[in-house]
Structure 1
Amino acid sequence: MLTIPRAIHDDLIAHARADFPVEACGMLGGVDGAVSAIFRMANTDQSNEHFMMDPKEQFAVVKELRNRGLGMLAIYHSHPESPARPSEEDIRLALTPGVSCVIVSLAGAEPDVKAFRIADGVVEPEPIEIVE
């Protein structure tokens, strides 16, 4: 389970809306499933169907996580026009063991945020608890 503070949950949605119609992306950091940091990143592909993070930016975020004593808990991205479920590409590119996939969908009347664990092509929903 991921525990996400309301402010970070709201920031995920704000990032997705700000980058619309391009997929927003970034990382969530924390300890033992408790998210305490969000790192917005640029989608270098500038696409509404997939995302790519700059390796230099990724390295800088991983270094910052380490410096703050945090681990990478999730990689997040938005689906501007499709539901909050992993695409075939999301499943194929989920190569970081133990890291959740958080998807923010803007396809419905209200944003939908869901988390998944993906390992060896198998997708498992992961509960999210929003805390104040």
Structure 2
Amino acid sequence: MRAALQVPEAVLQQTFADLSRMLPEEGVGLWSGSGQEVRTWTFLPNAAGHGERRVRFTVHPQDWIQALVSSSERGEAPLALVHSHPTAPPVPSAHDRKHWYYPDLWCVIVSFADGTPRWRAFQL
């Protein structure tokens, strides 16, 4: 089991701000850094079909590649794929588990279900 992620308050607040702007749809992005220390939040557009964005996310391959290239150029590694649950708790849904294609990354879920963002990290 890997050590827990260390997320600076400024990165966490930027993550919450960007994801909250996507409500009532799910938002998505990448945390990158070094070791387990998050340094950078990169917002990514949710490329899921318009009617699906309230319950799932998809990252367009070109957006994903650009995020990885940018992380590498900063000397960082991808650490976590972060997405929001507008009305559900911060636990992976059946869809999240079935379609998790990032075994080396943390799955971080930010929930807005009770109005205050809460997050949890999982290793899927």
TM-score by length of 2: 0.91
1: distance between equivalents of 2:78 and 2:95? 21
Match of 1:126 in 2: none
Q: Percent identity?
A: 29
Q: Look up the SS of the partner of 1:57 in the other structure.
A: helix
Structure 2 counterparts to residues 1-132 of structure 1, below 5 A: 1-45=4-48, 46=50, 47-118=53-124
**After TM superposition, where is structure 1 displaced by more than 4 Å over at least 4 residues in a row?**
none
**RMSD of aligned alpha carbons:** 0.9
How far did residue 30 of structure 1 move? 0.4
1: distance between equivalents of 2:14 and 2:30? 12
Gaps of 5+ in 2: none
Aligned residues: 118
Q: Which has the higher contact order (CA 8 A, sep 6+)?
A: 1
Gaps of 5+ in 1: 119-132
